[in-house]
A and B are shown apart, each in its own frame.
Chain A
């Protein structure tokens, strides 16, 4: 039997020690009527070579040459050392660091991660991570509603320029608690017009601002933040961490900065892997830290006064507070955070800024190449980071599979999310896309138009 070490002799000795004659007797408290015989519908076991053959064949079916699709998951280069270290059994096969003395590796790493995230976002404190960017936003919405006692409102302003899948997830996760998401439409620049915040918004607890937004465009974050604060709203920032090497951190937006920051951490060193596992990050002001959900690591001392690290403020969490916890979350995406931390250490601020700048440069080159074609036009004339929207003179639903046939993952059909943009494509170029790939994309698209 795979992975079971017992010899027949040992089994006999163990049964004798227990004082029974067969393994079956170990299940004698279970009513006989409930017992199943065998798992007949399951296949027989495979050895390591057989499963390798099967999986290699399947993985090959999904491989693509070049990916110009972003929409919340980005194809970045990951330093080779990152997953070599993450794969070490001491990280890979450890549990949550509840026994602090035997988990200082994971605990110090999380403390370093929290420090890096506060530096990137210009906030005071970060948690040890949540499941993904979308669920992190749901937790941020719940946190903002808890925090904004002045408004006591259960409504949150939610621009349509926030990732539409994030909106769906937030709705699923907070809807049962009577929280309402109020739409803020986008303007002709593909952004949230700060002036649209004027209407009776003090009736809401918070405003969500995505930078860059789902269309890749840069929102006027300073003005949005100040207007929200003037109306008594908290500001929840949803940001791309790679872009923060270049863009103004949310802690510095407007006069007072954002109140809660969250987002998807995948771009910091986690492979695309079909959408998960990724990790969601969250950061906040020191004054709000007791309302932040998820695990948090703090620095302390041991009996000899030596520096050490431990999980702290656990009275916020479900294993202590049960029904009164800030969230039901137990997990942090520890292994993904391990990758992000090592990745940020190796890149440093300089490496991360070079990556962000290269993304912006490649996306600019891609935009120039694509919009030079007849039948392609820019939709929003707005500064962007590494993603933008184009309109095609041919049906997007036919163009995308045709390009996929040439192994080019060409972008996202925006019509599936915004009916008014049914002839539009959201495209992205990271630092990994070469001039040749951009050229090949433009040439292939030209032939289809």
Chain B
């Protein structure tokens, strides 16, 4: 589609959008001023509205398509959460507004902290991190602060399974740690012997996702916790897969010392085409002094922000203000609508949908990566056989699914399973939707047998066909410039 810049004509005005001030200002000195206006498009309001409405129609989304993207928990984002979080009193509140104009939002945030303590089984919760990865950073920074506070400066290493999300090692490095990878055993659990061999006085902690990114529950979690704790290390829980356990198992009960939650996954705040999310963090008592600020507090009469003054050992601030509060309000609203009953059913139906879809796909002839294991809220297919027999890769299946009206599962992650599709249906999808997905997969398997060259050219019915990623990286074109060639 043409760019908004290509719809621009010099001299077009949007008069209804021209502000005029109530004072007359003396002109600023010349040396501070811009010489030529920036090259922004000059389009009418209708042109802009039509352009961006049409662009939106080139997206898949949860509202328009089944989106079984593993590890991403693409569940329905209830509209009421958006409506209420956008009320003028919330949307218009300045982040540094005085206590007199903060009681509404702080009441919600304080209660949300309390709910998340109960849900995770932790002693305290901060809402400050602006995303899961920032939650990881905060958690690992607290682990470091804890060891150093005790005069233990020898712990320079964080242990991370080879199947972990890439953010885990990157977050550990941002906290100044060295990363040691732990291999996974053939049954999908962590290789306990390999872990025991590397744990020691240099171990600051371990970062684990449970269920792991392989879609199975780590059955040795109690042993792992003991091994790490006995060596003086701490356990970090990556909450990316909390949807599988909500109301069933609490990270605190599994022995974790610090937990982050991706509210844009488990608590249905929208993904927004790549963000914003929020990554609240829960901690056990020994890490409580180090929590990032601010924290919402309540003295029985009124609510307030606690800051560095009340928490002198805090690892500090992670954002200019209080984090992604608009996202956290959506989380709070979701938690209140579901309540204790609804929240404890989330994992049940997420697991039911995953178990059913895995069973149907296996019966249709596809290969589960861990057939002997119970699927959690997600599971992995390996297209190794289809690739070997017909040359049909996981990527080919992913691209062709788009033509059948299904967003692709996560492809080629985790990397240790060859030709993998990581599939997470979530609890908000109906049986009919899951059955339709199985039908599409079966049709594509038929195409792999009969029309492999056709399959490899997919997709055919999207706004574009397969894109040249190599060209994108080699002939970098990251911005339209006024002198760019037309077309």
Contacts and interface: CB of A to CB of B under 8 A. Distances in A.
Given A276-B130, A319-B166, A64 B101 contact: yes
A365 interface: yes
Contact of B402 (A45, A60, A71, A99): A99
Contacts, number: 701
Given A17-B356, A95-B74, A361-B23, A405 B38 contact: no
B107 A111 contact: no
Given A61-B89, A300-B468, A342-B52, A323 B173 contact: yes
Contact of A26 (B254, B343, B351): B351
**Interface-centre pick from A176, A404, A438 (highest chain B CB count, 10 A):** A176
Given A39-B343, A276-B326, A302-B466, A114 B478 contact: yes
A321 B274 CA distance: 19
A132 B324 CA distance: 9
B41 A348 contact: yes
Contacts of A67: 92, 94, 97
Given A319-B166, A401-B98, A404-B101, A96 B24 contact: no
B173 A358 contact: no
Interface string A309-348: 1101100011111111101111111111010011011111
The interface size bin for chain A is: 35 or more
B163 to A, nearest CB: 12
B28 A360 contact: yes
A317 to B, nearest CB: 8
A188 interface: no
A42 B51 CA distance: 45
B3 A108 contact: yes
Given A331-B274, A349-B37, A26 B463 contact: no
A108 to B, nearest CB: 6
Contacts of A383: 28-29, 32
A298 B318 CA distance: 29
A227 interface: no
A390 B60 CA distance: 51
Contact of A115 (B5, B57, B93, B347): B5
Contacts of B427: 3-4
A192 to B, nearest CB: 15
A275 B340 contact: no
B273 A323 contact: no
Interface stretch (B134-142, B228-236, B386-394, B439-447): B134-142
Contact of A112 (B5, B80, B247, B341): B5
Contact of A119 (B14, B39, B336): B39
Interface string B99-110: 011111101100
Interface stretch (A229-237, A244-252, A373-381): A244-252
A88 B56 CA distance: 8
A92 B97 CA distance: 28
A358 B20 contact: yes
A353 B132 CA distance: 37
Interface stretch (B61-69, B195-203, B280-288): B61-69
A27 interface: yes
Contacts of B26: 364
19 contacts: A10-B431, A17-B356, A55-B85, A55-B87, A55-B108, A73-B95, A104-B464, A115-B481, A135-B130, A246-B28, A273-B90, A277-B276, A307-B487, A308-B463, A328-B167, A334-B274, A336-B272, A338-B52, A345-B48
B186 interface: no
Nearest to A109: B55
- The binding surface of chain B is classed by DSSP as loop
Interface stretch (A74-82, A143-151, A199-207, A440-448): A74-82
**Interface-centre pick from B24, B25, B45, B131 (highest chain A CB count, 10 A):** B25
B399 to A, nearest CB: 7
B260 interface: no
Given A1-B341, A29-B374, A96-B273, A348 B43 contact: yes
A274 B174 contact: no
B208 interface: no
A303 B274 contact: no
Interface in B309-328: 315-327
Interface in A96-137: 96-97, 99-106, 108-109, 111-112, 114-116, 118-120, 122, 124-126, 128-129, 131-135
A254 to B, nearest CB: 11
Given A48-B337, A273-B90, A328-B136, A90 B61 contact: yes
Interface string A432-444: 0111001000000
